[in-house]
A and B are shown apart, each in its own frame.
Chain A
Amino acid sequence: MAVILHEDFETAGLLAGQSPGAGMTWTNTFDSAADSEDVVVAGGRIGGASGIEAGVATFPAPVAGPGFVLTCVVRGLPSIPSDGEISFRICEAGWSNAASVSFSFGSWGVQVYASTGGGVNEYSIDLSPSVYPSSTVDVELKWVYDGAYVRFYVDGVETGVLPGVSGVADPFGAFSLFVNGLWLYDLLLETSEAVGPEPVEGICSAPSMLDAAGAVGSVPVAGVCSVPSMLGTASAVGFHDFTVGLGDVVTRYVLDLVTPAGLVRVPMSSWQATLQTGRSNYVQAVVPAVGDWVDSINAATEFVVSRVAVLPGGGLLEYEMVRGPVEQASFSRGPSRFTCTLSGYSTGFAVDEDPPAVYDRELAGVRSISSGTGGMRVRSSIDWLLRPGHRAFADGSPFVVAYINYYVAVQDGGSGDAYMDAGERN
């Protein structure tokens, strides 16, 4: 895991007439306590507003480890014609008599070089001719100690190598930053510490047990992992008997075509259906004056008959009664009529010899009751909720409904005669 530490000198500059400590404002974003990671600024002035001045800021060893980045924006002072220089000095032991290194960076002509010296290695970045009076240059220096070499990078490009000292985990230790004739601001020191091998960063997203929350982190495994909740998906089935509150509302039936473009409501003159357990359902509906609906009918995959009631409070209640696939659309044209009969078979209802009591229905408007070896058969008003597999009561006698035959004629937008035969099969 990489640990990135920042010491950010925001719009700092070390202004003329101020000591570095007073002039440099900084925030330590990883640890605000005054511990060993904090920056210590000492020495003379770094930069100045009125003339070429030199100064030094001393920083502690940010952290033992292989990575260190210095990013700063360097501004040329008005009084400096064209040149500038940043120097930094490695003060710690372990760098005796290091070889000089000199390299250039891009069109800036930046040079970093080291001069030898007993125990002190000094590196300078020659910014000329890129820093003109009042101009600014962004510079990122990075040096990495891999245990054998110190590798220098300028803006990500390796620009030099110095041999390291075996066994020294952090060859830099504290270092000093020299500025000569320039003004530094927006100075950012960033260090990184690697634990174990250089990590490969990946994103791991794992939903929590309770939901699809995710965690994003930097882990030494590459890849993206996403798993569903351990809780699994919830589902529920409920039931509401709205007929209790319906009263004597007037109902009618409507026909909807299920098309790729959505539902299309078309007129209907009649419908009939047989819904049953263990056998296919059959649904049929007749569309009158079908001329305007031919295209929709041809596009339809299913048709749905719903029962509609306008509630006393003004609300509209629609309840699906039957649904069938458009397996056949028979058009019939005469001198004064043009109709289409839609029909299709659908999967029947499951047999349930002992249906839950919640579905029990008392048949209303009973017209006839017949019984025989085949079982009970009752003709009554159409029940909103009764379906095959439910239990019905007629005159107090229960029976499990095996089939329901619906017969509905629609007149003037309302219902004509409408009834159903519900029966059992023994």
Chain B
Amino acid sequence: MAVPTGVEFDAASKVAAHTAFRDLIDSGSGAGLIRVRDAADVLLATITLSDPCGSVNGTTGVLTFSIAARDDSADASGTIAYVQFCDSTGVVRLAMPAQAGATAVSGKAVFNTLSVIAGGPVEMLSATVG
């Protein structure tokens, strides 16, 4: 085996890990949710995941979330601080800090703007793990 340049898990391990994680989000009776909150935990918007919430690539192990519905009308105005990926009962399975930008950043939830105005739509265009 060639000396790895970094930590290398085999695909089966990653598939198993990400499948288990996906199943946790799907463990509720309904679809999982992405909750968008400000620094004071005020809920700004809720985006609905598909059920199941995504698919795991059998080769790369990457979990790609599938979005079922955007939030057509933000609940409150505020500044996005973080997002939570929850199961349908509200148990938080993943939380990520948010930042403004245009392209994906590892470990971040990137929005075109962090300023949310109540009534405006909030969407999640893409989300992955792995």
Contact = CB atoms under 8 A, between A and B. Distances in A.
Given A209-B17, A232-B18, A233-B107, A238 B124 contact: yes
A245 B14 contact: no
Contacts of B127: 234-237
Contacts of B107: 233-235
B116 interface: yes
A209 B109 contact: no
Contacts of A209: 17, 20-21
Interface in A291-315: 311, 313, 315
Nearest to A384: B113
Given A227-B7, A238-B109, A238-B111, A358 B120 contact: no
Contacts of B45: 240
Contacts of B85: 234
Contacts of B69: none
Nearest to A317: B115
B121 A244 contact: yes
Contacts of B77: 245, 311, 313, 315
Given A242-B113, A356-B125, A358-B125, A236 B96 contact: yes
A240 B120 contact: yes
Contacts of A313: 77
A368 interface: no
Q: Which of B83, B85, B123 has the most CB of A within 10 A?
A: B123
A242 B96 contact: no
Interface in A247-291: none
B36 to A, nearest CB: 7
Interface in B15-36: 17-18, 20-21, 34, 36
Contacts of B104: 235-237
B130 to A, nearest CB: 3
B105 A240 contact: no
A228 B80 CA distance: 27
A256 B109 CA distance: 24
Nearest to B7: A227
A238 B129 contact: no
Contacts of B59: none
B86 interface: no
A352 to B, nearest CB: 13
B113 A235 contact: no
B117 A311 contact: yes
Contacts of B128: 234-236
A238 B61 contact: no
A183 B70 CA distance: 78
A356 B121 CA distance: 15
Contacts of A241: 120-121
Interface string B67-109: 0001000100100100101000000001010101001111111
A385 interface: yes
Given A234-B107, A236-B83, A245 B124 contact: no
B13 A230 contact: yes
A231 interface: yes
Given A232-B130, A236-B109, A242 B117 contact: yes
Interface string A190-233: 00000000000000000001100000000000000001101111
B5 interface: no
A272 B121 CA distance: 29
A246 interface: yes
A5 to B, nearest CB: 37
A242 B79 CA distance: 12
Interface in A331-367: 356, 358
A32 interface: no
A240 B123 contact: yes
A235 B105 contact: yes
B17 A238 contact: no
The 9 closest A-B pairs by CB, nearest first: A232-B130, A245-B117, A236-B127, A244-B120, A236-B109, A242-B117, A245-B119, A238-B111, A230-B17
27 contacts: A230-B9, A231-B18, A234-B94, A234-B96, A234-B107, A234-B127, A235-B104, A235-B127, A236-B83, A236-B96, A237-B104, A238-B36, A238-B80, A238-B112, A238-B122, A238-B124, A238-B125, A240-B74, A240-B80, A240-B123, A242-B120, A244-B121, A246-B117, A315-B77, A319-B113, A320-B100, A358-B123
Given A236-B124, A239-B124, 13 more contacts: A230-B13, A232-B61, A234-B129, A235-B105, A236-B110, A237-B103, A238-B36, A240-B74, A240-B80, A244-B117, A244-B120, A317-B113, A319-B115
